[in-house]
Structure 1
C-alpha cells in the first residue's frame, strides 16, 4: 500500500491538475460513469467536532475509496487546520488497500477547483470584481483558483471576524490585485462573482443584496442546518451543484427545498454543463449559483492523482498490511 504524506501532496498536486481532475469527475458523474455513496456526518460530542465519511466509485477511471475526517473548529488556535481528513483508496477488482493519502491539502485544493470549474463554465465572461465572503483557511485556495478563471481587476471581501481579513488582502496582493474590505451590501452590489466559504448556520447574504448577473459559488454548506445565503436568493438563481441529492439534503439548497421554494428538479449537475448537455448561463442578467457540497468522488479524484504522481516521482512510501 502506498502512503502519501501531506507534504508530498503539496508537491505533486497543483491547481492546474486538480482542476482537470475535478472537471473530469463532474463530467463522469453527470454521464452516469461515477457515483457517490451516502454521506455519514455526525457531531461527535467532543471539541464541537463534526466527523464523517464520504465515499464513492468512479467506474470510468477505476477509483474506489473513501475520505474519513471532519471539522474541528478549535484547531486553528492550536496551529492546525480546522478540516482534518485522510483518503483511503482500494483496488476495485480485489478490495485490497491501494493507498493512504493525506487529505487536508487535497480537501482545500479540490474545493477550490470545484468553485473554479463553476466560475469557468457559469460566470459572465466580462466578470471583473471577485467577492470573497469568508476569510478562513480555505479562502486563499479559493481566491487563487478563481483568479485563473477570469480577468478580475480587484477583490472585495467580508468576514464575520474582521481581524481575519488580512489573509484575503495578502492573497490578493500575491495575485497582483487590489483588495478592499466592504460591507455585505457593497459585496452584493459590486461583485460579479461571489465565493462564500464559511461555516455559518445562518444566512449571511440576502436576496436583495445581490445584483443581476452575479455568479455565486457557495462552498461552505456541507451539513444539515448549515446556511450561507438566503433561501430566497437560492430560489431566484439558476441552480447548479456537484450532486443533486446532497445539494437538496445537506447543501445550500436544503433550506429552499424544505421551504418549498424549489424542487430537486430545479438543480442541475454542473457536469451536465461541462459535457455540453446543459447550456449553463443563458443571459447576462441571470443569477447563477453553484452549490458546492463536496462529494467523495472529488476527494478520490485528487487522491488518485496524488498517489500516481507520488509513485512516479518516487515520493510515496510503500508498506505491507
Structure 2
C-alpha cells in the first residue's frame, strides 16, 4: 500500500469491524508467525508499564515484517474500569509507516483488531496442534475477548459442546448465547470439571494466579493460554508447562511476560523447550506427536500480529475508498 501522494489513511473501528473478518485475521496472523520463524519479520522490545493511575497498564508493541513490507507500532493498554463506563477495557491504536521512507501512512483503530487477532492466534494454534477429533471446547474467562475466541475456535474443529468457567459466573450467559448461536451445547462447570471434559482449552483472563492445575488436564488436551502478557500475570499452574509440549508466538516474550515466565523462573522448564508456532506452520516442526500429548500455546500477543491485521484493514479500506484521508 503506497499512500505517499494520497496522504494519511484513517481507518476507524467501524471500518475495521466491517472489513476484517475471522478468516482474513487468521490468514494474516498465520502468515506473520511463519515469517517470524523464518527470520523475515521481527518484533521490537515491548514497553509495558503500570501507570499508577486508573489501575491502567499502558505500552507499545512494534516491529517490522520485511516479507510483508509492514512497519509500525501499536500503542495502548488495559483500563479495568472502562467496562463500568460502557467502554472496552482494552484500548489501542495502530500506526503504520512506509518502510521505504518512514512516513506515517495509516492510523488504524486497534480495539476490534486486538480482539480478532488474539482470537486468530489461538485459532491458528488449534488448527496446527489440537487433536482432529476434539469435541469439547473449554473456555476459562468470559470477558470482552471471550466471544471472539469462541467464534474463532469453533471454526477449527467439529466441536459439539462448550464448557466454561469464569470467576464472575454472572458473565457466562454471553458465552452461552454464542454457543447456542453456533449450535453447540453449553455447560457452566467448575475448573476441575472443565479440565476433565475439555479436549481444547482457551484461557482468556487477566489473572495473576493459576486457574487450572496441572493434574486437572487430561491427556491429549490442547491449551491456548491467551491472557498472560505482562510480568506477574498467570493463568495456569507452571507445572502444567512441564507436562506439556510448549509452543508460543515469540520465545523472548513467552519467557519474560508470557505464561512460561513462571515455569522458567521456577526451573520447571528451560527456554529451549519452547517452540515458535511458526516452525510448525513452516513445516520445520511436526507439532503434535501423539494422541495423548498435551500441547500448550503461550499466546503473549506480539506487535506483528497487530500490524498484520491493521495492514489488511488499511489495504481493504483504501481499495474500497472508505477510509478518511488527512495530511499532517
Same fold (TM over 0.5): yes
- For the residue of structure 2 that corresponds to 1:109, the secondary structure is helix
How far did residue 274 of structure 1 move? 0.4
- Mapping of residues 1-321 of structure 1, within 5 Å: 1-321=8-328
Q: Structure 1 regions of 5+ residues with no counterpart?
A: none
**TM-superposed deviation, 1:61:** 1.0
The gaps in structure 2 that reach 5 residues or longer are 1-7
TM-score (norm 2): 0.98
Distance in 2 between residues matched to 1:207 and 1:242, nearest whole Å? 22
SS at 1:293's partner residue?
Answer: coil
Q: What displacement does 1:105 show?
A: 0.1
Q: Look up the SS of the partner of 2:145 in the other structure.
A: helix
How much does 1:57 deviate? 0.1
RMSD, aligned α-carbons: 0.4
Equivalent-residue separation in structure 1 for 2:249 and 2:60 (angstroms) = 17
CA offsets 1:58-112 (integer angstroms, 9 cap, x no match):
0001100000000001111110000000000001111100000000000000000
How many residue pairs align between the two structures?
Answer: 321
Alpha-carbon deviation of 1:244? 0.2
Offset of residue 151 of structure 1: 0.1
Provide the C-alpha distance between the structure 2 equivalents of 1:63 and 1:127, rounded to a whole number of angstroms. Answer: 35
TM normalised by structure 1 equals 1.00
- Deviation string, structure 1 residues 273-317 (Cα, Å, up to 9, x no partner): 000000000000000000000000000000000000001111101
